[in-house]
Amino acid sequence: MADRLSIYKGALRLLGPSNLASLTEDRPERHRLDDAWEPAVNDLLNEGMWNFAVRAISLEQDEDIEPRFGFQYGFRKPDDWVRTVGISRTEQFLEGLCEYEDEGDYWYADPDVIYLRYVSNDEDFGWNVGRWRQAFSSALEARLAFDCGLPISGDRGNRNDLFQLYEKRLKRAKTLDAVDERVRTTPVGSLVRSRFHYPARHR
């Protein structure tokens, strides 16, 4: 289980010896990490379809939104939305919704209810540090070390190495997270349904 202090310590170890013991110590390096913490986490959440950060909800059409053309209904993006994982007509997410428009803070589509899976920055999802996998935390350590390395150590020589380390750890974290994603069954197509008498799904 990740925690903020262990991530700070991991970042500082990449920059040299450190004996930071708590998140309340009045030390320059801790303040630098504090400043970098929120933007670094938000950037990492935007980098992948992290399973720990994904939530699923239904959205009803927003009556205050009048689509300008093309689609019947508008849907306002949730306040905690980071990036979309999938939009579906069904709550089981067996059939993706392909015909929609993504414009700014809204989606436009023809169904009056859509089902959404998305990366969330809510405190119970993406910002729940206790849910982070170690690989994600390790990538964050390298990102913080890169962001704070120059202000903390004054060493310009290792910035390229730190960024390469961050990219390597980020790639590994995304790979491990993808392995955890459950295998989804491919929906039966209309031709197969017609031949073998599968029941049609409501559209």
Helix (H) or strand (E) run with residue 195 in it: helix 190-196
What mean pLDDT do residues 144-162 have?
Answer: 80
Percentage above 70 pLDDT, the chain? 85
pLDDT of 50 over the 80 cut: yes
The DSSP code sequence of 103-172 is ETTEEEESSSEEEEEEEE-STTTTT-GGG--HHHHHHHHHHHHHHHHHHHH---TTHHHHHHHHHHHHHH
Q: For residue 196, what pLDDT is reported?
A: 37
Query: Contact, 108 vs 75, CB < 8 A?
Result: yes
Please check the confidence at residue 115 and state whether its pLDDT lies above 80: yes
pLDDT of residue 191: 44
Q: Tell me which H or E stretch contains 58.
A: strand 54-60
Question: What pairs with residue 17 in β-bridges?
Answer: none
Contact assessment for residue 23 and residue 84, using Cβ atoms and an 8 Å cutoff: no
Three-state DSSP state, 22: coil
Mean pLDDT computed over 34-45? 98
In the structure encoding, which two tokens stand for residue 69, read together? 């053309």
Q: What band does 66 get if pLDDT is binned at 50, 70 and 90?
A: confident
Q: For all residues of the chain together, what is the average pLDDT? A: 87
The rounded distance, in Å, linking the Cα atoms of 124 and 53 is: 8
How high is the pLDDT of residue 65?
85
Please give the Cα distance from 116 to 69 (Å, whole number).
22
- What is residue 181's predicted lDDT score, i.e. its pLDDT? 72
Task: Average the pLDDT over each of 38-52, 161-175, 179-193 and give the range with the smallest value.
Answer: 179-193
For residue 8, which phi and psi values (nearest 5 degrees)?
Answer: -60, -45
Residue 158: the pLDDT is 82
pLDDT at residue number 199: 41
Distance separating the N- and C-terminal Cα atoms of the chain: 42
Q: How confident is the model at residue 195 (pLDDT cuts 50, 70, 90)?
A: very low
Tokens of 99: 């015909």
User: Average of pLDDT values for 185-202?
Assistant: 42
Q: What is the pLDDT of residue 105?
A: 93
- In this prediction, residue 153 carries a pLDDT of 64
Q: Give 52's contacts (C-beta < 8 A, 6+ positions apart).
A: 125, 126, 128, 131, 132, 133, 136
Confidence grade of residue 11 (pLDDT, cut at 50, 70, 90): very high
What is the mean predicted confidence (pLDDT) over 150-160? Answer: 71
